[in-house]
Structure 1
């Protein structure tokens, strides 16, 4: 197999690394490190019969090491932690598109890696996260999960069962893959949702929000954001309308997009710089949860980042 063929595994490897870390930049570094290790192994005379297995194992174990070293930073994070968004511009024909989202492999990210799902994974240990994700998201059999993680097959079964219970206990928002019909429904509802929010239509917005809707905001302590998730449909609607009204006064515009496989939007300032990314969790015809990422450190992979958040204090 040629090195060009090896590159064909990059979308899968990125998805695994991103699912482990919740960070686009860290995922790219981990994938690059895995390819470098493969190159060095071959240069040392090692015969790698299954490059895909080699690379998957390297990425997963590097992800485990990364999570162990990052745990203290996560525990001291200011405010509500959300993953770095992966953006694919446009929700469908006739809808406004924004700028490109970065490397092409991001567009092939598994629909299972929604923000809500990645937040749930934060409750797991690094090894639990690896086992659960390989088995649940990517459909690996237990023998392969055992090989990748370095655990026994029986141990992997126990780890997966324990992780699944913990995820089920914390699950509230929809996080699974979207079927084509649900994607079309979600895109249409998202368009109406953002039109109502941008137009200041409180009644229309309330009609689209689930009674127990939750609003999450990640500013990382660097730009204004919610200190903890907001609940109550009326409060969430008013927060959205107030925030967008202030942004519009600063020249911010909104482009519809797929965010982590979910309907959403990217907000840009008057110079076209990224100000924020919003993802919607939609089920049963209502918006169940809203995830807004405004921390500038989590937006650099999308292009130049705006300072409008600082002006919006």
Structure 2
């Protein structure tokens, strides 16, 4: 993978590093809220230093990256414990592409969601694989393979030797390869067409069409966080997923489904009375059918989407 931002670790304006740090932290943590907290903590440590110490830092960008990486590493360790107690599946926080909402909301340049570059290193299938890694694997892999930091610099951030970091990166790559999360990106128009067909089949309650759009080995996971109702365990197989989707269609009248970009790929957003209540991300299998569906209903993870109301739905 190429450098997400094209920005190195050199100096420059300290506050100008915020976008790069947010990009890094989101990929490391899978949560926009936690990423923003990590970046805030990084800047807090920077400004807590006496002015003379800050002036002595030759490369502020490198300093900030090191601190942010260590903060995220610590957060990942505690997050693993919290997620073991999480109700149902834990799915990374989905991100909107505000440009397609026709001015229907958004916080502008100061909003953390607007600082995250929507590329292949944030598509949901990839983020879910990152969740399976150990904290050290994830930090090393993201820093080296996604952001292209040399192992010598990564070693200083995670407190390991360069050789140990190479082993961690290799282990992480095997996880990605095994999960198939690094397969070629489908053309946006191709995935958009499949998602549109899926939307229309769901609205028509056409179980045959739904089954035909799903890979036989497809898996669907949903995240309600214990705050809203949803399936607690992944649903496997095209037939079972289609049956569950029709069950939900009967239980959720009045929903409006919108075709919108989710983490850089075509997905669906469900709104009720103009309020976003569900965001669904999709991944296509090699045969072009849907292989993975990630449904986020936890309202705490939908905050970046709540600014988009009914006025934007027609955009």
TM-score under structure 2 length normalisation: 0.82
CA RMSD of aligned residues (A): 2.8
Q: Is the 8 A contact 1:85 1:277 kept in 2?
A: yes
Q: CA-to-partner distance for each residue in 1:110-129, whole Å, 9 max, x for gaps?
A: 42222222222223221121
Equivalence for 2:17: 9
Equivalence for 1:309: none
C-alpha distance in structure 1 between counterparts of 2:85 and 2:199, whole Å: 33
CA, structure 1 residues 107+132, in 2 after alignment: closer, same or farther (shift >3 Å)?
A: closer
SS of the residue corresponding to residue 268 of structure 2 reads strand
Alignment of 1:213-292 (within 5 A): 213-247=218-252, 249=253, 251-270=254-273, 272-284=274-286, 285-292=288-295
Q: CA-to-partner distance for each residue in 1:155-205, whole Å, 9 max, x for gaps?
A: 211222233334444x15x35673xx6223212222222122223233332
What is the deviation of 1:146?
1.8
C-alpha distance in structure 2 between counterparts of 1:184 and 1:90, whole Å: 17
C-alpha distance in structure 1 between counterparts of 2:308 and 2:99, whole Å: 20
Structure 1 gaps, min length 5:
307-313
Q: Is 1:295 equivalent to 2:298 in the alignment? A: yes
C-alpha distance in structure 2 between counterparts of 1:130 and 1:214, whole Å: 27
Q: Is the 8 A contact 1:90 1:98 kept in 2?
A: no
Equivalence for 2:86: 77
C-alpha distance in structure 1 between counterparts of 2:42 and 2:183, whole Å: 28
Q: Equivalent of 2:209, from 204, 211, 223? A: 204
Q: Is the 8 A contact 1:85 1:260 kept in 2?
A: yes
TM-score under structure 1 length normalisation: 0.83
C-alpha distance in structure 2 between counterparts of 1:277 and 1:88, whole Å: 13
C-alpha distance in structure 1 between counterparts of 2:184 and 2:65, whole Å: 22
Moved more, 196-205 or 25-34: 196-205
C-alpha distance in structure 1 between counterparts of 2:284 and 2:103, whole Å: 20
Q: Is the 8 A contact 1:218 1:295 kept in 2?
A: yes
Count of equivalent residues: 294
Equivalence for 2:312: none
Q: Is 1:22 equivalent to 2:30 in the alignment? A: yes
C-alpha distance in structure 1 between counterparts of 2:103 and 2:292, whole Å: 23
CA, structure 1 residues 289+98, in 2 after alignment: closer, same or farther (shift >3 Å)?
A: farther
C-alpha distance in structure 1 between counterparts of 2:249 and 2:99, whole Å: 20
Q: CA-to-partner distance for each residue in 1:10-48, whole Å, 9 max, x for gaps?
A: 332112211222111110111122223233336243322
SS of the residue corresponding to residue 265 of structure 1 reads strand
Q: Is the 8 A contact 2:92 2:128 kept in 1?
A: yes
Q: Is the 8 A contact 1:214 1:289 kept in 2?
A: yes
Q: Equivalent of 1:86, from 95, 104, 111? A: 95
Equivalence for 1:311: none
Equivalence for 1:310: none
